[in-house]
């Protein structure tokens, strides 16, 4: 067998017994489904233990004098003793789709003011590549200056500092060793605050909570942006951390809560740090424990406080304190206010080609406003902005900015979105002016008020592809950017001055924008799709020249991985993948890259635990499912060292894996349904479940030891439509061996595609191949299922009683259909359907001479 034998821990039920749809047949014994005994065995979620090796880097060899490579004790050690940066690239092997690459970094030691980078690069040539890099970088010059603070070493630190409370009994402050303590002022639950300094735009306060002591309440540690109000009641923005770790942000006006965001429930205990930032109309909150982010969130204050108005912001102070019951206290070890250094207008290196004058009261009379979907929205010129408001439900309207040009970026600042019952979507669109507005052609960057941001191509009113950039909460103001280089469209968001969620899409399949004759039909527009009562406010819109992104030797920081893609010499992906909350990344650790079709799953492995950082759809750059693409690429280890820096690699390997989890178990079987068992092991097909996105799943074959219940991964199977070159990740398949014709038949559901039933003949015995691709054609069928589609979990056997091939499958709803045909490729006719209860996990089996269909279903939530 090819797979490594390891005990796995994860829950999977092989079959769920719920017989129905009995097909007439004579039984020669008394065996019934009720006589069956079902045994659970366990496999685990989020694991990579079951694997088939492909290629390991042999860490043995001689020194390389150029970069002082040395191989010691099975590890590769690199030291740069030169006066210039040194780079090294070591070949592992051919690019293999649907596989995993592990690069284990044992030590990563940058010199003073230097960097040590390690990464994986899949490269066709110097102009076409995808890379994943992790650097260890020395701290750079501070970009903020401290403007106020509490000197915790000063015994008189409380002298002259304003204290306040709107809730009695007022908290009492006292100086303690290395800090300031606020404690309860008596019976009942009261509050107390110590003023640190003024709140300004692009400023933040950092505090250390050294200790929290609770009795009957939660001893809330609070950072409060305090406003005096007019009634003496609580008034301001509260960032509260309870002793149980619950972190929230809330705005209260004259004693009434107006908005609250629950940020984290991770059980973080003191000591920890809180950082509260003011950017635009939003407050950003970050909690840090031992250098690791343990919760972050945004509180948007649009419509409550206009923090962009200096006269409003001047009324706020940064304060620290607590909400405490009798006997409770909070100790602060640090409280510092920092002001970020913001680049002045005019320092932008991008040349503005056209910009809407938001001061011009007649602006909307000078630009075209058009509509895609009725009821049409209304564009209104308001002070220093343009607002789109709904005239009904789900109308869609836009305003033109200018002609679309190569190497430009359409940029818009969104000041606010009012959501009622729909999504209050702000949209940037590259619009084909020649298309009918009712059936638009274009490229849409859509930001929904709830946070989801997508990049979509629509042709003749039909969606062709739709990529998700982000699902996280946004704060106002923020910017959307949509850029064009050749046929690569780059979408991103700018939040808090930082460009994030950068996603690239090659649109040449639908629009050849590199052709001037095509490009002249497109223009850059902005607008929205709005439900009843909704609106979107734009405060700035412009078209700028977009400078080409430079390829980075070293990432600018070490707070994540740097994902880069270069196509035809241009950097088209340049994205920092941040570390997950709660994970501190220091060597030793492993960079893990899991190619799941068009997706790249990006993981960090630390102390034996794999944690996913991102799942990136890279089909817009290079589609690593395409047999016209992936054979041209090779996988390398990439390293770069500044002078005096060191790097040590303990492993670089490539393998097929059980991945992130399993689903849809079915035994491999003969045409009559007899299960394949060899040497005490059952052959079993299962879906390798995708982590985050279901289309990142694929089909695998295992063996199951019937004595020890060990699973071994044996095969990865992908599927190809006749005449096409994409290896599709269809799954939930059934494999059947027809011994009469000595051929393997597979029936699958085209998950991630049109989700129809497809079938084909395997080119070889899948039990003898580690990776195999099979051509599958669409099956034809009649009956209820044919009118509804959305097929899953097909099961095929040859029913000897009827002399028919039989497929049982579930379809939209999910209900079950039983189909018969003379040939396994059909055409199939529906002979029965079960419509009473939602069912999946369909399996046909012959027991005691009778044919049964087994399913999994939920009854009363069980």
Q: 571: domain CATH number? A: 2.60.120.200
Looking up residue 807, the CATH number of its domain turns out to be 2.115.10.20
Tell me, yes or no, whether 519 and 627 share the same domain.
no
**Whether 688 and 627 share a structural domain:** no
Are 129 and 200 in the same domain?
no
Mean pLDDT of 436-442: 88
Min mean pLDDT across 421-430, 443-452, 721-730, 845-854 is at: 845-854
Claim to verify: residue 289 and residue 231 sit in the same structural domain: yes
Domain end residue (candidates: 316, 340, 364) = 340
Quick check: is 208 in a domain? Answer: yes
Query: How many structural domains comprise the chain?
Result: 4
Tell me the average pLDDT across 657-666: 78
Rounded average pLDDT over 239-244: 94
Choice among 164-168, 189-193, 287-291 with the minimum mean pLDDT? 287-291
Average pLDDT in the chain? 84
Give the model's pLDDT for residue 597: 81
Whether 387 has a pLDDT exceeding 80, the answer reads yes
Residue 697 placed within a domain: yes
Per cent of the chain over pLDDT 90 is 45
Quickly state the pLDDT bin for 115 (edges 50, 70, 90): confident
Same domain, 817 and 668: yes
The pLDDT value given to residue 62: 39
Q: Is it the case that residue 87 has pLDDT exceeding 70?
A: yes
281 occurs within a structural domain: yes
C-alpha distance from residue 1 to each of 625, 703, 712 (Å): 26, 9, 8
**Distance between CA 82 and CA 272 in Å, rounded?**
41
Shared domain for 648 and 663, answered yes or no, is: no
3 state DSSP class of 265: coil
The arithmetic mean of pLDDT across residues 470-480, rounded, is 83
Are the beta carbons of 267 and 245 closer than 8 angstroms?
Answer: yes
pLDDT at position 291: 72
Question: Are residues 376 and 266 part of one domain?
Answer: no
Q: Which domain holds residue 314?
A: 144-340
Q: Is there a domain that residue 849 lies in? A: yes
What average pLDDT does range 822-832 have in this prediction?
Answer: 90
pLDDT of residue 111: 82
Q: Same structural domain for residues 570 and 499?
A: no
Are 529 and 568 in a shared domain?
no
Given a cut of 50, is residue 13 above it in pLDDT?
A: no
Supply the pLDDT for residue 280: 84
Note whether 366 and 409 are same-domain residues.
yes
Q: Give domain status of residue 287, yes or no.
A: yes
Which band of pLDDT confidence, cut at 50, 70 and 90, is reported for residue 382? confident
Pairwise CA distance, residues 307 & 201, whole Å: 8
pLDDT digit string (tens) for 543-566?
Answer: 998 766 666 666 655 677 888 888
Inter-residue contact 592 to 610 (CB < 8 Å): yes
Greater pLDDT, 14 or 844:
844
* 662-686 mean pLDDT: 90
Q: Is 65 a residue whose pLDDT tops 60?
A: no
Going by pLDDT thresholds of 50, 70 and 90, the confidence category of residue 34 is: low
Domain end position, chosen among 604, 633, 655: 655
Say yes or no to pLDDT of 46 above 60: no
Q: Same domain, yes or no, for 206 and 303? A: yes
Query: Helix, strand, or coil here: 403?
Result: strand
Judge whether 51 lies within some domain.
Answer: no
Domain final position from 655, 687, 715? 655
Which pTM value belongs to this model? Answer: 0.69
Q: Which residues of 31-53 are buried (b: 16+ CB within 10 A; e: fewer)?
A: eebeeeeeeebebeeebbbbbbe
User: What would the mean pLDDT of 443-455 be, rounded to a whole number?
Assistant: 92
Residues 674, 539 share a domain: no
Q: In what side-by-side order are the strands of the sheet with 792-799?
A: 792-799, 804-811, 815-821, 829-834
Tell me if 621 is assigned to some domain: yes
On the question of pLDDT at 42 being above 60, the answer is no
Per-residue pLDDT tens for 264-284? 888 889 999 999 999 888 899
Digit-coded pLDDT (tens) for 691-714: 555 667 888 999 988 888 888 899
Report if residue 550 sits inside a domain: no
Contact 649, 108 (CB under 8 A): no
């Amino acid at each position: 067998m090819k797979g490594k034998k390891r005990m796995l821990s994860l829950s999977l039920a092989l079959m769920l017994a719920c017989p129905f749809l009995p097909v007439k047949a004579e039984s020669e014994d008394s065996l019934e489904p009720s006589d069956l005994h079902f045994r659970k065995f366990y496999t685990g979620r989020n694991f990579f233990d079951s694997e088939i090796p492909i290629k390991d880097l042999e860490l043995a060899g001689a020194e390389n004098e150029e970069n002082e490579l040395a191989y010691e004790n099975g590890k590769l050690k690199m030291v740069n003793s030169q006066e210039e940066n040194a780079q090294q690239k070591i070949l592992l092997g051919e690019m293999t789709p649907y596989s995993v690459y592990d690069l284990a970094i044992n030590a990563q030691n940058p010199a003073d003011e230097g960097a040590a980078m390690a990464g994986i690069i899949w490269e066709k040539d110097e102009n076409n590549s995808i890379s994943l890099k992790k650097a260890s970088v020395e701290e750079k010059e501070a970009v903020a200056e401290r403007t106020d603070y509490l000197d915790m070493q000063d015994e008189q630190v409380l002298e002259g500092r304003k204290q306040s409370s709107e809730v009695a009994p007022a908290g009492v402050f006292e100086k303690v060793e290395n800090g300031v303590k606020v404690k309860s002022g008596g019976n009942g639950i009261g509050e107390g605050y110590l003023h640190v300094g003024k709140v300004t735009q692009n400023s933040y306060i950092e505090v250390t909570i050294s200790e929290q002591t609770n009795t009957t309440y939660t001893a809330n540690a609070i950072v409060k942006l305090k406003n005096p109000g007019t009634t003496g009641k609580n008034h301001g923005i509260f960032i509260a951390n309870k002793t149980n770790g619950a972190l929230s942000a809330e705005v209260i006006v004259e004693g009434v809560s107006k908005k609250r965001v629950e940020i984290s429930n991770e059980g973080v205990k003191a000591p920890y740090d809180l950082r509260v930032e003011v950017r635009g109309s939003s407050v950003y909150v970050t909690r840090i424990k031992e250098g690791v982010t343990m919760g972050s969130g945004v509180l948007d204050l649009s419509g409550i406080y206009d923090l962009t108005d200096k006269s409003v912001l001047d009324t706020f102070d940064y304060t620290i304190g607590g909400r405490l019951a009798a006997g409770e206290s909070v100790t602060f070890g640090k409280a510092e206010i920092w002001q970020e250094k913001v680049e002045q207008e005019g320092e932008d290196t991008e040349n503005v080609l056209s910009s809407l004058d938001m001061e011009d009261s007649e602006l909307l009379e000078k630009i075209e406003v058009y509509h895609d979907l009725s009821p049409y929205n209304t564009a209104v010129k308001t002070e220093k902005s343009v607002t789109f408001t709904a005239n009904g439900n789900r109308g869609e309207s836009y305003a033109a900015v200018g002609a679309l040009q190569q190497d430009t970026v359409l940029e818009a600042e969104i000041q606010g979105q009012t959501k009622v019952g729909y999504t209050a979507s702000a949209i940037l669109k590259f619009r084909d002016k020649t298309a009918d507005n009712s059936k638009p052609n274009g490229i849409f960057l859509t930001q929904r008020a709830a946070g989801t941001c997508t990049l979509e191509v629509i042709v003749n009113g039909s969606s062709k592809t739709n990529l998700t950039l982000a699902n996280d909460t946004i704060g106002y103001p923020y910017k959307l950017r949509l850029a064009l280089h050749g046929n690569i469209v780059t979408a991103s968001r700018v939040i808090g001055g930082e460009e994030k969620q950068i996603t690239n899409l090659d649109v040449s399949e639908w629009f050849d924008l590199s052709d001037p004759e095509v490009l002249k039909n497109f223009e850059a527009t902005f607008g929205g799709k709005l439900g009843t009562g909704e609106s979107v406010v734009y405060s700035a819109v412009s078209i700028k020249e977009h400078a080409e992104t430079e390829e980075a030797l070293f990432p600018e920081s070490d707070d994540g991985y740097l994902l880069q893609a270069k196509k035809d010499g241009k950097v088209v992906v340049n994205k920092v993948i941040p570390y997950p909350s709660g994970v501190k990344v220091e060597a030793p650790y492993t960079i893990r890259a899991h190619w799941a079709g068009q997706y790249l799953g990006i993981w960090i492995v630390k102390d034996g635990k794999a944690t996913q950082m991102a799942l990136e759809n890279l089909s817009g750059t290079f589609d690593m499912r395409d047999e016209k693409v992936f054979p041209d690429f090779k996988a390398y280890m990439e390293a770069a060292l500044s002078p005096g820096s060191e790097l040590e690699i303990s492993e670089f390997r490539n393998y097929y894996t059980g991945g992130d989890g399993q689903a849809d178990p079915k035994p491999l079987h003969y045409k009559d349904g007899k299960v394949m068992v060899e040497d005490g092991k059952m052959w079993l097909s299962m879906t390798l479940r995708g982590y985050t996105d279901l289309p990142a799943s694929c089909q695998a074959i295992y063996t199951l030891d019937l004595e020890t219940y060990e699973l071994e991964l044996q095969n990865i199977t992908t599927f190809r439509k006749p005449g096409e070159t994409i290896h599709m990740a269809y799954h939930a398949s059934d494999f059947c061996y027809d011994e009469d014709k000595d051929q393997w038949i597979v029936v699958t559901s085209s998950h991630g595609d049109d989700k129809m039933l497809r079938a084909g003949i395997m080119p070889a015995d899948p039990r003898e191949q580690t990776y195999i691709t099979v051509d599958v054609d669409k099956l034809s069928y009649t009956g209820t299922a044919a009118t509804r589609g959305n097929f899953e979990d097909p099961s095929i056997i040859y029913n000897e009683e009827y002399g028919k091939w039989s497929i049982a499958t579930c379809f939209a709803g999910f209900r079950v259909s039983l189909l018969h045909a003379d040939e396994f490729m059909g055409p199939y006719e529906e002979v029965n359907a079960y419509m009473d209860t939602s069912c999946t996990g369909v399996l046909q089996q012959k027991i005691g001479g009778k044919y049964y269909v087994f399913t999994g279903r939920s009854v009363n939530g069980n």
